[in-house]
Amino acid sequence: MLIGTAVLIVAIAAVRLSTRSGLPSLLLYLGIGLALGNRGLGIDFSDEELTQVLGYAALVLILTEGGVTTKWDSIKGSLAPAAALATVGVVVSILVVALAGHFVLSMSWSTALLIGAILASTDAAAVFAVLRRVPLPRRVSGMLEAESGFNDAPVVIIVTAIAVQSAAGEEVSLWSIMLIVTGELIVGSLVGLGVGWLGGRLMSRVAGGSSALFAIGVVAMSVLAYAAADVLHASGFIACYLASLVLGNMSLPHRAAVLGFSTALGWLAQIGLFVLLGLLADPAAFPDQIGRALVLGLALLLVARPLSVLVSCSPFGLGWRTQAFLSWAGLRGAVPVVLATVPLTVGATGVEWIFDLVFVLVVIFTLVQAPSLPWVAHRLGLDRGHHSFDLAIEVTPFDDIGAHLIEVTVGPLSRLAGVQVYELRLPAGANVALIVREGASFVPHETTPLRRGDQLLVVTPAALRAAVEKRLYAVSRGGRLAGWSRDG
């Protein structure tokens, strides 16, 4: 407990360093694990099977956080290209990396395909962390969020299938693997959507009075979706992500508590997962893998990822700037490192070095890609012409009286600034009850103008909450003429 809590406190403090340096916190957590391991403080940990089990559990919580905190409106316009990237793009990436491994590094086809599959998934934790500090158009950020949420599922199935066939000495059959992937994704998607919808309705009835219990129940439903799909030999990861996505967009009560709890669990899962992976790694083996990591990483970054984006996104009319940014933003993180333990747990021989190779590759190319993302977005002109932060809304339900209290923060780019209270034209029954401005609070009049940085408390009947939120977002984007002008 002493070591665990000390590591947790150091990891929390490292977030500040991560924010200042622009490096994803995953690198700092991996460094903590390495410092604690055999070559550091001497903690002996070499259990690949336990790492895989705990890694999958952590990924479930990370995907739950990603799904619950993702707004449907932010990804629905990007869903089709994101799905293409998570399926067709994954296949293209695997093949390109496998070709590089076979012809440049003289690997066998089975080993090259296995490494290509391990490296094919972008990492949800890394992508979500970077998106918090890179202002992007909604369609681009939505596409990255959806892709990183979707592509874990097919990649896990592909890696497991290739590893099992290789361990059994069988020739890798890509067609049979594709059939397995398709079937498991379809069943897993149905399970996730069903559990999410039914679970949301159930939780709103049985745990509606307690925000803490409700938050626990929502997360439990996401985990239930994973477990139910796995029992049916379907994709638990796609079921988990879709269930949490449904739950997060059902206009359920206690949204603030659900978001806070799921985000806290997501951070805890990330810290534990990355420290664990750092413990498992052996720095003494890293120098031997640097050459291979550079070759495969460059093939992935400069050929596989751009080609997968081109093939997947061109049919949807995405411009070259967006495609260029998506190509550079395919961050790898915990998922490939966790999947690198799969060959060992299924009994494959002669591939122990893959874990060290993937670890080195992830560290090197995260150091290259992540800090440069804001600069790349700026050079491509993707950080202009949109609202990087226009409006923040938190909702507190008062179920006993059938009302909701909405806390609204007016962002620096919101067009709410200058709008008078009566010009909000909120639905009848909803009212701006209080404004907090520069530390002072007051009850506004109808003609009180709003300012950037204002915090508004809006009281509304529970049945009108969705309409009130929709109206506030519309005015924030379109100004006082929202709903009347073409742009509103």
Look at residue 207 in the predicted model and tell me its pLDDT: 62
Look at residue 388 in the predicted model and tell me its pLDDT: 40
Contact 281, 419 (CB under 8 A): no
At residue 363, does pLDDT exceed 80? yes
Look at residue 126 in the predicted model and tell me its pLDDT: 67
* Confidence band of 209 (pLDDT split at 50, 70, 90): low
Q: Where does 2-379 sit in CATH, by number?
A: 1.20.1530.20
Residue that wins the pLDDT comparison between 39 and 331: 331
| Alpha carbon separation from 169 to 88, 158, 173, 191, 340 (Å, rounded) | 27, 17, 12, 33, 19
Taking the CB of residue 226, how many other CB atoms lie within 10 A of it?
29
Collapsing DSSP to helix, strand or coil, 458 comes out as strand
pTM, to two decimals? 0.77
Contact 333, 366 (CB under 8 A): yes
Tally the C-alpha atoms within 13 A of residue 375's C-alpha that lie toward its C-beta: 6
Look at residue 398 in the predicted model and tell me its pLDDT: 66
Look at residue 300 in the predicted model and tell me its pLDDT: 95
Residue that wins the pLDDT comparison between 450 and 377: 450
Look at residue 487 in the predicted model and tell me its pLDDT: 43
Short-list 190, 192, 191, 164, CA closest to 177: 164
At residue 474, does pLDDT exceed 50? yes
Residue type, 181: V
The two tokens of residue 467 are: 């309409």
- Tens-digit pLDDT profile for residues 127-183: 656 656 666 777 787 888 888 888 888 999 999 989 888 887 777 777 888 888 999
Look at residue 19 in the predicted model and tell me its pLDDT: 62
Domain 391-481 is in which class?
A: alpha beta
Look at residue 387 in the predicted model and tell me its pLDDT: 41
- Tens-digit pLDDT profile for residues 13-42: 877 776 666 566 778 888 889 998 877 788
What share of the chain has pLDDT > 70, as a percent? 90
User: Where do the domains of the chain lie?
Assistant: 2-379, 391-481
The two tokens of residue 393 are: 């809304």
Return the minimum-mean-pLDDT range out of 230-239, 289-298, 391-400, 441-450: 391-400
**Can you state the percent helix, strand and coil of the chain, rounding each to 5?**
70, 5, 25
Short-list 323, 335, 324, 342, CA closest to 362: 335
Look at residue 332 in the predicted model and tell me its pLDDT: 87
Residue that wins the pLDDT comparison between 69 and 236: 236
Which helix (H) or strand (E) is 434 found in, with range? strand 431-437
The two tokens of residue 360 are: 């080195």
